[in-house]
Amino acid sequence: MTDSTQAPTRDHATNSPVPATMRSAFHERYGAPEDVVSVRTVPTPKPAPGEVLVRVRAASVNALDWHYVTGLPMFARPSLGLRRPKRQVPGADASGEVVALGEGVTRHAIGDPVFSEVDGGGFAEYVIAPEDWWQPLPQGVSHEQATTLGVAAETALQGLRDWGNLHEGQRVLIAGASGGVGSFAVRLAKLLGASHVTAVCSTRNVDAALAGGADRVVDYTREDVRDLGDRFDVFFDNAGTMSLRECRKLLVKGGTYVSITAPKTKWVKPMPRMLSVPLHFALTSESAPAFKVASRSATDQSWLAAQIAAGRLEPLIEQRWSLEDAPEVLRRQGEFHAQGKSLVIP
């Protein structure tokens, strides 16, 4: 009997055996990325039953990676790992080729190009995830494009379509319109039929927001969106810099506020804002919104990839980094002024 959990015979991309060791970003404790993240040679993981090992060709960088590495805010520690991080290899999105199959895997074959939101592990040469998580890469979609479609694109899609209940012909406001989530939110708002999109970002990102499809860009370093006298059907708040009272004033009657972010502090300061979202909008919004967290969705990832394949969606990819740059790219992500998506190419 063969043991199918053993490493496969060939890595089809390089036509070489899957090596016993790989290069990987790694952190054993919480802290500033530049202090706790290093890039090391570690054993290449072997897939358990139902899992698939993928040679990573591109991984994308998300705010989530920064939260996992720093362990902040503290109240998230029960899910991140109380004393030590549960996920010691950063990287929440990955795209690459299948190189080994755990026992019982039927959906994928060696050599298949696939992509997914993974539960950490993307900043490495190889990553494992359950077979159901990996989606086939459609023709015409690159690994670099596909790896942007996890956390950031799913959050923008679920935020506008599901929590914002965005309908065709509506007017949308997107605050924080130029980073990972925001650049997708601008593109997807238009794709989902918004008649007018107002994007809020800083000076250096104005042109990129216009190129992404925004009808109007408000440079928050020069003007204040509250001074426009405009009201919106959907306010996708990816910045969290205004009070909830001020956010409410920017909505038409029955308009929807989508809350996905809160102030970045060490302890519990984000909590009051997150908990008070429903209270602030219960009387003014048709569907009382709450602070939302996006979830991994194979259906959404496939739909997003199909939009790229059809030429309807183009992710904004600003920077490519090597694996050795992982500490620096994570440090920069923690500044929360990313321009589109940054990639790590292991």
Give me the residues that bind ligand NAP (CB under 6 A), please.
62-63, 151-152, 155, 175-182, 200-202, 205, 220, 238-239, 241, 260-261, 292-294, 336-338
Q: Please tell me the distance from the alpha carbon of residue 38 to that of residue 123, in angstroms, as a whole number.
A: 11
Angle at 296 between CA 137 and CA 27, to 5 degrees: 95
Q: To the nearest whole angstrom, how small is the minimum distance from the Cβ of residue 252 to ligand NAP? A: 21
Closest to ligand NAP by CB, 88 or 205: 205
User: Would you give the end-to-end CA distance of the chain in angstroms?
Assistant: 34
Closest to ligand NAP by CB, 99 or 166: 166
Q: To the nearest whole angstrom, how small is the minimum distance from the Cβ of residue 341 to ligand NAP? A: 8
> Helix 326-333 crosses helix 63-70 at what angle (to 10 degrees)?
100
Closest to ligand NAP by CB, 24 or 261: 261
Q: Please tell me the distance from the alpha carbon of residue 171 to that of residue 148, in angstroms, as a whole number.
A: 26
Q: To the nearest whole angstrom, how small is the minimum distance from the Cβ of residue 178 to ligand NAP? A: 4
Instruction: Tell me which amino acid residue 282 is.
Output: A
Cβ(232)–Cβ(252) below 8 Å: yes
Closest to ligand NAP by CB, 44 or 285: 285
Q: To the nearest whole angstrom, how small is the minimum distance from the Cβ of residue 42 to ligand NAP? A: 27
Closest to ligand NAP by CB, 124 or 185: 185
Closest to ligand NAP by CB, 37 or 218: 218
| DSSP three-state, residue 32 | coil
Q: To the nearest whole angstrom, how small is the minimum distance from the Cβ of residue 116 to ligand NAP? A: 16
User: For ligand NAP, which residue has the nearest CB?
Assistant: 179
- Write out the two tokens for 90: 């950063």
Q: Please tell me the distance from the alpha carbon of residue 117 to that of residue 210, in angstroms, as a whole number.
A: 28
Q: To the nearest whole angstrom, how small is the minimum distance from the Cβ of residue 345 to ligand NAP? A: 18
Q: Please tell me the distance from the alpha carbon of residue 237 to that of residue 258, in angstroms, as a whole number.
A: 6
